[in-house]
Amino acid sequence: MDTRRKIYISLGSNKGDRLKNLQDAINLIFERIGKINIISKVYNSPAFGFEGSDFLNCCVIFETDIAPDEIMLALLEIETSMGRVREANAGYESRTIDLDILFVDEDVLETKLLKVPHPELHKRKFVLKPLLEIAPKLTHPTLHKNVYDLLETCEDTSVLEPINIWLKNPSKQFQFSHYNYIAIEGNIGAGKTSLATMISKDFNAKLILERFAENPFLPKFYEDAKRYAFTLEMSFLADRYQQISDDLSQLDLFKDFIISDYDIFKSLIFSKITLPEDEFKLYRKLFYLMYKDIAKPELYVYLYQNTARLQENIKKRGREYELNIENEYLDKINSGYLEFLKNQSELHVKIIDISERDFVDNRKDYLWILNEICKTDDAR
Protein backbone atom coordinates (compact mmCIF):
# COMPACT_ATOMS: atom_id res chain seq x y z
CA MET A 1 0.00 0.00 0.00
CA ASP A 2 1.38 3.38 -1.03
CA THR A 3 1.10 5.82 1.91
CA ARG A 4 2.76 8.74 0.17
CA ARG A 5 1.04 12.09 0.18
CA LYS A 6 1.51 15.12 -2.01
CA ILE A 7 2.31 18.16 0.11
CA TYR A 8 1.84 21.66 -1.30
CA ILE A 9 3.73 24.41 0.51
CA SER A 10 4.40 28.10 0.22
CA LEU A 11 7.87 29.53 0.89
CA GLY A 12 8.75 33.15 1.57
CA SER A 13 11.73 35.23 2.68
CA ASN A 14 12.36 38.95 3.18
CA LYS A 15 15.52 38.95 5.32
CA GLY A 16 19.12 38.34 4.30
CA ASP A 17 19.88 36.65 0.97
CA ARG A 18 16.28 35.91 0.09
CA LEU A 19 16.92 33.70 -2.93
CA LYS A 20 19.52 31.65 -1.08
CA ASN A 21 17.11 31.25 1.81
CA LEU A 22 14.49 29.76 -0.51
CA GLN A 23 17.02 27.40 -2.09
CA ASP A 24 18.43 26.32 1.28
CA ALA A 25 14.92 25.58 2.57
CA ILE A 26 14.09 23.46 -0.49
CA ASN A 27 17.36 21.55 -0.10
CA LEU A 28 16.59 20.87 3.57
CA ILE A 29 13.05 19.69 2.76
CA PHE A 30 14.55 17.24 0.27
CA GLU A 31 17.21 16.04 2.72
CA ARG A 32 14.90 15.65 5.71
CA ILE A 33 11.36 15.05 4.48
CA GLY A 34 10.82 13.90 0.90
CA LYS A 35 11.29 14.12 -2.84
CA ILE A 36 10.73 17.50 -4.47
CA ASN A 37 8.36 17.08 -7.43
CA ILE A 38 8.15 20.59 -8.83
CA ILE A 39 9.10 24.18 -7.95
CA SER A 40 7.31 27.28 -9.19
CA LYS A 41 8.85 30.49 -10.43
CA VAL A 42 10.01 32.93 -7.78
CA TYR A 43 7.99 36.12 -7.36
CA ASN A 44 8.86 39.42 -5.71
CA SER A 45 5.93 40.63 -3.66
CA PRO A 46 5.26 43.39 -1.12
CA ALA A 47 5.05 42.53 2.56
CA PHE A 48 1.53 41.32 3.42
CA GLY A 49 -0.18 42.50 6.60
CA PHE A 50 2.69 44.65 7.90
CA GLU A 51 5.27 47.23 6.81
CA GLY A 52 8.48 45.55 5.75
CA SER A 53 10.87 44.72 2.93
CA ASP A 54 9.61 42.89 -0.14
CA PHE A 55 9.41 39.11 -0.06
CA LEU A 56 10.53 36.50 -2.51
CA ASN A 57 7.86 33.78 -2.69
CA CYS A 58 7.41 30.44 -4.42
CA CYS A 59 5.46 27.21 -4.06
CA VAL A 60 6.69 23.62 -4.03
CA ILE A 61 5.11 20.18 -4.28
CA PHE A 62 6.88 17.32 -2.56
CA GLU A 63 6.00 13.72 -1.67
CA THR A 64 6.49 11.90 1.61
CA ASP A 65 5.01 9.11 3.68
CA ILE A 66 5.59 11.08 6.89
CA ALA A 67 2.43 11.98 8.85
CA PRO A 68 1.20 15.60 8.44
CA ASP A 69 1.95 16.65 12.04
CA GLU A 70 5.50 15.29 11.70
CA ILE A 71 5.89 17.21 8.44
CA MET A 72 4.83 20.39 10.24
CA LEU A 73 7.35 19.78 13.02
CA ALA A 74 10.09 19.14 10.46
CA LEU A 75 9.27 22.39 8.65
CA LEU A 76 9.36 24.31 11.94
CA GLU A 77 12.78 22.78 12.68
CA ILE A 78 14.00 23.90 9.26
CA GLU A 79 12.78 27.44 9.93
CA THR A 80 14.57 27.48 13.29
CA SER A 81 17.79 26.06 11.81
CA MET A 82 17.74 28.87 9.25
CA GLY A 83 17.52 31.56 11.91
CA ARG A 84 13.83 32.29 12.17
CA VAL A 85 12.78 33.41 15.64
CA ARG A 86 9.06 33.37 16.46
CA GLU A 87 8.06 36.01 18.99
CA ALA A 88 4.94 35.34 21.04
CA ASN A 89 1.98 37.46 19.87
CA ALA A 90 4.23 39.35 17.47
CA GLY A 91 1.87 39.05 14.49
CA TYR A 92 3.26 39.43 11.00
CA GLU A 93 6.96 40.30 10.86
CA SER A 94 10.03 40.03 8.66
CA ARG A 95 11.58 36.57 8.51
CA THR A 96 14.48 34.68 6.99
CA ILE A 97 12.15 31.89 5.92
CA ASP A 98 8.46 31.13 6.17
CA LEU A 99 7.16 27.63 5.33
CA ASP A 100 3.40 27.10 5.21
CA ILE A 101 1.59 23.88 4.38
CA LEU A 102 -1.21 24.76 1.96
CA PHE A 103 -2.66 21.35 1.07
CA VAL A 104 -2.06 17.72 1.97
CA ASP A 105 -3.39 15.99 -1.14
CA GLU A 106 -6.93 17.37 -1.20
CA ASP A 107 -7.69 16.36 2.39
CA VAL A 108 -9.26 18.36 5.18
CA LEU A 109 -7.23 18.05 8.40
CA GLU A 110 -7.27 19.83 11.74
CA THR A 111 -4.90 19.04 14.59
CA LYS A 112 -3.26 21.03 17.38
CA LEU A 113 -0.37 21.81 15.03
CA LEU A 114 -1.96 22.02 11.65
CA LYS A 115 -5.02 23.07 9.73
CA VAL A 116 -5.29 22.23 6.04
CA PRO A 117 -6.19 23.57 3.64
CA HIS A 118 -4.41 26.63 5.01
CA PRO A 119 -7.27 28.88 6.21
CA GLU A 120 -5.83 32.05 4.60
CA LEU A 121 -4.46 30.75 1.30
CA HIS A 122 -7.42 31.92 -0.81
CA LYS A 123 -6.80 35.50 0.38
CA ARG A 124 -3.14 35.66 -0.65
CA LYS A 125 -2.08 36.38 -4.18
CA PHE A 126 1.58 35.61 -3.35
CA VAL A 127 0.43 32.06 -2.60
CA LEU A 128 -2.08 31.52 -5.38
CA LYS A 129 -0.06 32.83 -8.31
CA PRO A 130 2.95 30.51 -7.92
CA LEU A 131 0.63 27.67 -6.91
CA LEU A 132 -1.32 28.12 -10.14
CA GLU A 133 1.84 27.34 -12.14
CA ILE A 134 2.38 23.94 -10.56
CA ALA A 135 -1.14 22.81 -9.57
CA PRO A 136 -3.79 24.66 -11.62
CA LYS A 137 -6.42 21.92 -11.27
CA LEU A 138 -5.94 21.33 -7.56
CA THR A 139 -9.36 21.78 -5.93
CA HIS A 140 -9.96 23.32 -2.53
CA PRO A 141 -11.97 20.64 -0.69
CA THR A 142 -14.18 23.05 1.27
CA LEU A 143 -14.42 26.06 -1.06
CA HIS A 144 -14.88 23.71 -4.05
CA LYS A 145 -12.83 25.89 -6.38
CA ASN A 146 -9.63 25.07 -8.21
CA VAL A 147 -6.55 27.27 -7.87
CA TYR A 148 -7.33 29.19 -11.07
CA ASP A 149 -10.78 30.15 -9.79
CA LEU A 150 -9.40 31.02 -6.35
CA LEU A 151 -6.92 33.43 -7.95
CA GLU A 152 -9.61 34.95 -10.15
CA THR A 153 -11.77 35.75 -7.11
CA CYS A 154 -8.93 36.75 -4.77
CA GLU A 155 -9.33 40.32 -3.46
CA ASP A 156 -5.62 40.81 -2.81
CA THR A 157 -4.45 43.60 -5.17
CA SER A 158 -0.72 43.15 -4.55
CA VAL A 159 1.51 43.40 -7.62
CA LEU A 160 3.79 40.38 -8.02
CA GLU A 161 6.85 40.42 -10.26
CA PRO A 162 8.44 37.16 -11.46
CA ILE A 163 12.22 37.06 -11.32
CA ASN A 164 14.30 35.41 -14.02
CA ILE A 165 16.22 33.06 -11.74
CA TRP A 166 15.00 29.51 -11.25
CA LEU A 167 15.51 27.55 -8.07
CA LYS A 168 17.22 24.17 -8.45
CA ASN A 169 15.41 20.93 -7.72
CA PRO A 170 17.78 18.86 -5.51
CA SER A 171 16.09 15.65 -6.67
CA LYS A 172 17.65 16.17 -10.10
CA GLN A 173 21.15 15.49 -8.77
CA PHE A 174 20.38 11.77 -9.01
CA GLN A 175 20.29 10.68 -12.63
CA PHE A 176 18.85 7.24 -13.38
CA SER A 177 17.21 7.82 -16.74
CA HIS A 178 20.40 7.17 -18.73
CA TYR A 179 19.94 3.53 -17.67
CA ASN A 180 17.21 1.49 -19.32
CA TYR A 181 17.35 -1.35 -16.81
CA ILE A 182 18.75 -1.54 -13.26
CA ALA A 183 18.80 -4.64 -11.06
CA ILE A 184 19.03 -4.40 -7.27
CA GLU A 185 20.43 -7.60 -5.77
CA GLY A 186 21.45 -8.89 -2.37
CA ASN A 187 21.12 -11.64 0.19
CA ILE A 188 17.86 -12.68 1.86
CA GLY A 189 16.79 -9.68 3.99
CA ALA A 190 19.27 -7.22 2.45
CA GLY A 191 16.53 -4.74 1.53
CA LYS A 192 16.56 -5.08 -2.25
CA THR A 193 12.76 -4.99 -2.62
CA SER A 194 12.46 -1.95 -0.35
CA LEU A 195 15.17 -0.03 -2.20
CA ALA A 196 13.88 -0.92 -5.68
CA THR A 197 10.37 0.15 -4.64
CA MET A 198 11.55 3.47 -3.18
CA ILE A 199 13.61 4.32 -6.26
CA SER A 200 10.74 3.40 -8.59
CA LYS A 201 8.42 5.82 -6.77
CA ASP A 202 10.93 8.65 -6.56
CA PHE A 203 12.28 8.43 -10.09
CA ASN A 204 9.36 7.21 -12.21
CA ALA A 205 10.60 3.69 -12.94
CA LYS A 206 8.71 0.58 -13.95
CA LEU A 207 9.06 -1.80 -11.01
CA ILE A 208 9.63 -5.55 -11.41
CA LEU A 209 9.37 -7.51 -8.15
CA GLU A 210 10.15 -11.20 -7.86
CA ARG A 211 7.06 -13.32 -7.25
CA PHE A 212 8.68 -15.45 -4.55
CA ALA A 213 5.59 -15.26 -2.32
CA GLU A 214 3.63 -17.24 -4.92
CA ASN A 215 6.10 -20.16 -5.00
CA PRO A 216 4.52 -23.09 -3.10
CA PHE A 217 7.84 -24.94 -2.85
CA LEU A 218 9.67 -22.26 -0.86
CA PRO A 219 8.24 -23.11 2.60
CA LYS A 220 8.76 -26.82 1.84
CA PHE A 221 12.40 -26.17 0.91
CA TYR A 222 13.13 -24.51 4.25
CA GLU A 223 11.63 -27.57 5.99
CA ASP A 224 13.45 -30.18 3.88
CA ALA A 225 16.14 -28.64 1.65
CA LYS A 226 17.53 -31.86 0.19
CA ARG A 227 14.12 -33.11 -0.92
CA TYR A 228 12.81 -29.90 -2.45
CA ALA A 229 15.95 -28.09 -3.67
CA PHE A 230 15.78 -29.17 -7.32
CA THR A 231 12.00 -28.69 -7.50
CA LEU A 232 12.32 -25.23 -5.97
CA GLU A 233 15.14 -24.09 -8.24
CA MET A 234 13.38 -25.36 -11.37
CA SER A 235 10.15 -23.60 -10.41
CA PHE A 236 12.07 -20.36 -9.80
CA LEU A 237 13.90 -20.80 -13.10
CA ALA A 238 10.65 -21.10 -15.04
CA ASP A 239 8.86 -18.34 -13.16
CA ARG A 240 11.73 -15.84 -13.40
CA TYR A 241 12.07 -16.56 -17.10
CA GLN A 242 8.36 -15.97 -17.68
CA GLN A 243 8.22 -12.84 -15.56
CA ILE A 244 11.37 -11.15 -16.84
CA SER A 245 10.51 -11.99 -20.47
CA ASP A 246 7.05 -10.49 -20.12
CA ASP A 247 8.08 -7.40 -18.16
CA LEU A 248 11.09 -6.49 -20.30
CA SER A 249 9.12 -6.89 -23.51
CA GLN A 250 6.24 -4.67 -22.39
CA LEU A 251 7.34 -1.08 -22.81
CA ASP A 252 5.79 1.55 -20.57
CA LEU A 253 5.95 4.87 -22.37
CA PHE A 254 5.15 6.74 -19.17
CA LYS A 255 8.15 5.39 -17.22
CA ASP A 256 11.78 6.52 -17.53
CA PHE A 257 13.49 3.18 -16.89
CA ILE A 258 13.03 -0.30 -15.40
CA ILE A 259 14.19 -1.38 -11.96
CA SER A 260 13.93 -4.90 -10.53
CA ASP A 261 14.66 -6.47 -7.15
CA TYR A 262 16.42 -9.45 -8.72
CA ASP A 263 18.59 -10.48 -11.65
CA ILE A 264 18.28 -13.69 -13.64
CA PHE A 265 21.75 -14.87 -12.55
CA LYS A 266 20.30 -15.21 -9.05
CA SER A 267 19.07 -18.62 -10.20
CA LEU A 268 22.63 -19.82 -10.84
CA ILE A 269 23.96 -18.41 -7.58
CA PHE A 270 21.32 -20.06 -5.39
CA SER A 271 21.23 -23.36 -7.28
CA LYS A 272 24.99 -23.78 -6.95
CA ILE A 273 24.53 -23.63 -3.17
CA THR A 274 21.41 -25.78 -2.87
CA LEU A 275 21.93 -28.51 -5.51
CA PRO A 276 24.32 -31.48 -5.68
CA GLU A 277 26.98 -31.12 -8.37
CA ASP A 278 25.32 -33.41 -10.95
CA GLU A 279 21.95 -31.68 -10.60
CA PHE A 280 23.62 -28.27 -10.77
CA LYS A 281 25.33 -29.16 -14.07
CA LEU A 282 21.96 -30.07 -15.58
CA TYR A 283 20.37 -26.96 -14.11
CA ARG A 284 23.12 -24.70 -15.47
CA LYS A 285 22.69 -26.16 -18.96
CA LEU A 286 18.96 -25.44 -18.87
CA PHE A 287 19.62 -21.95 -17.52
CA TYR A 288 21.85 -20.90 -20.41
CA LEU A 289 19.46 -22.40 -22.97
CA MET A 290 16.58 -20.39 -21.56
CA TYR A 291 18.30 -17.11 -20.77
CA LYS A 292 20.72 -16.66 -23.65
CA ASP A 293 18.62 -13.94 -25.30
CA ILE A 294 17.28 -12.19 -22.17
CA ALA A 295 18.37 -8.56 -21.77
CA LYS A 296 20.88 -7.96 -18.99
CA PRO A 297 20.73 -4.98 -16.65
CA GLU A 298 22.89 -2.00 -17.56
CA LEU A 299 23.60 -1.50 -13.86
CA TYR A 300 23.78 -4.29 -11.27
CA VAL A 301 23.71 -3.07 -7.66
CA TYR A 302 24.61 -5.56 -4.94
CA LEU A 303 23.56 -4.57 -1.41
CA TYR A 304 25.93 -6.11 1.11
CA GLN A 305 24.59 -6.64 4.63
CA ASN A 306 26.43 -8.51 7.39
CA THR A 307 24.77 -11.69 8.63
CA ALA A 308 23.61 -10.22 11.95
CA ARG A 309 21.74 -7.42 10.17
CA LEU A 310 20.26 -9.90 7.68
CA GLN A 311 18.84 -11.94 10.55
CA GLU A 312 17.41 -8.81 12.16
CA ASN A 313 15.66 -7.88 8.93
CA ILE A 314 14.38 -11.42 8.37
CA LYS A 315 12.85 -11.52 11.85
CA LYS A 316 11.42 -8.01 11.43
CA ARG A 317 9.48 -8.91 8.28
CA GLY A 318 8.17 -12.05 9.99
CA ARG A 319 7.78 -14.60 7.19
CA GLU A 320 7.31 -17.79 9.17
CA TYR A 321 9.14 -20.07 6.73
CA GLU A 322 12.26 -17.83 6.91
CA LEU A 323 12.59 -17.61 10.68
CA ASN A 324 14.79 -20.71 11.01
CA ILE A 325 17.28 -19.78 8.29
CA GLU A 326 20.75 -20.45 9.65
CA ASN A 327 23.68 -18.06 9.54
CA GLU A 328 25.70 -20.60 7.60
CA TYR A 329 23.18 -20.58 4.75
CA LEU A 330 23.24 -16.78 4.56
CA ASP A 331 27.05 -16.81 4.58
CA LYS A 332 27.06 -19.27 1.68
CA ILE A 333 24.67 -17.08 -0.31
CA ASN A 334 26.83 -14.01 0.26
CA SER A 335 29.96 -15.89 -0.75
CA GLY A 336 28.17 -17.17 -3.84
CA TYR A 337 27.21 -13.66 -4.92
CA LEU A 338 30.67 -12.25 -4.33
CA GLU A 339 32.33 -15.11 -6.20
CA PHE A 340 29.95 -14.61 -9.11
CA LEU A 341 30.52 -10.85 -9.20
CA LYS A 342 34.31 -11.22 -8.94
CA ASN A 343 34.33 -13.29 -12.11
CA GLN A 344 31.71 -11.23 -13.92
CA SER A 345 32.81 -9.23 -16.96
CA GLU A 346 29.48 -8.69 -18.74
CA LEU A 347 27.75 -6.61 -16.08
CA HIS A 348 28.41 -3.09 -14.74
CA VAL A 349 28.46 -3.89 -11.02
CA LYS A 350 28.39 -1.68 -7.93
CA ILE A 351 28.75 -3.34 -4.52
CA ILE A 352 27.46 -1.14 -1.68
CA ASP A 353 28.00 -2.02 1.97
CA ILE A 354 24.84 -1.01 3.83
CA SER A 355 25.51 -2.92 7.05
CA GLU A 356 25.52 0.33 9.05
CA ARG A 357 22.69 1.94 7.10
CA ASP A 358 18.92 2.00 7.62
CA PHE A 359 17.65 3.50 4.38
CA VAL A 360 14.00 2.63 5.07
CA ASP A 361 13.67 4.69 8.26
CA ASN A 362 16.58 7.11 7.83
CA ARG A 363 16.31 9.39 4.81
CA LYS A 364 19.94 10.46 5.15
CA ASP A 365 21.01 6.83 4.61
CA TYR A 366 18.67 6.53 1.62
CA LEU A 367 20.19 9.60 -0.02
CA TRP A 368 23.69 8.25 0.69
CA ILE A 369 22.83 5.05 -1.18
CA LEU A 370 21.38 7.01 -4.11
CA ASN A 371 24.64 8.94 -4.30
CA GLU A 372 26.66 5.71 -4.25
CA ILE A 373 24.58 4.31 -7.08
CA CYS A 374 24.64 7.42 -9.24
CA LYS A 375 28.19 8.65 -8.83
CA THR A 376 30.47 7.85 -11.72
CA ASP A 377 33.21 5.27 -11.40
CA ASP A 378 35.74 8.03 -12.13
CA ALA A 379 34.71 9.74 -8.89
CA ARG A 380 35.65 6.70 -6.81
Q: Is the dihedral of CA 290, 294, 300, 305 positive or negative?
A: negative
On whether the CB atoms of residues 241 and 192 are closer than 8 A, the answer is no
Query: Please, what is the end-to-end C-alpha distance for the chain in angstroms?
Result: 37
Measure Cα distances from 77 to 32, 64, 72, 158, 209 in Å.
Answer: 10, 17, 9, 30, 37
The answer to whether 52 and 144 have CB atoms below 8 angstroms apart is no
- Pairwise CA distance, residues 170 & 29, whole Å: 10
98, 100, 261, 263: the catalytic one is 261
Helices (H), 65-120: 68-81
State the Cα–Cα distance between residues 221 and 243, nearest whole angstrom: 22
**Helix (H), strand (E) at residue 335:** helix 327-342
Crossing angle for the helix pair 327-342 and 266-274, nearest 10 degrees?
130
Within the chain, what is the greatest distance between any pair of CA atoms?
A: 85
Strands (E), the chain: 5-13, 35-39, 43-45, 55-64, 98-104, 109-110, 115-116, 161-162, 181-186, 205-208, 257-260, 299-304, 349-353
Q: 273 and 333 in contact (C-beta within 8 Å)? A: yes
261 is catalytic: yes
Give, in order, the Cα–Cα distances in Å from 86 to each of 10, 92, 97.
18, 10, 11
3-class secondary structure, 86: coil
Any idea which residues carry the catalytic annotation? 261
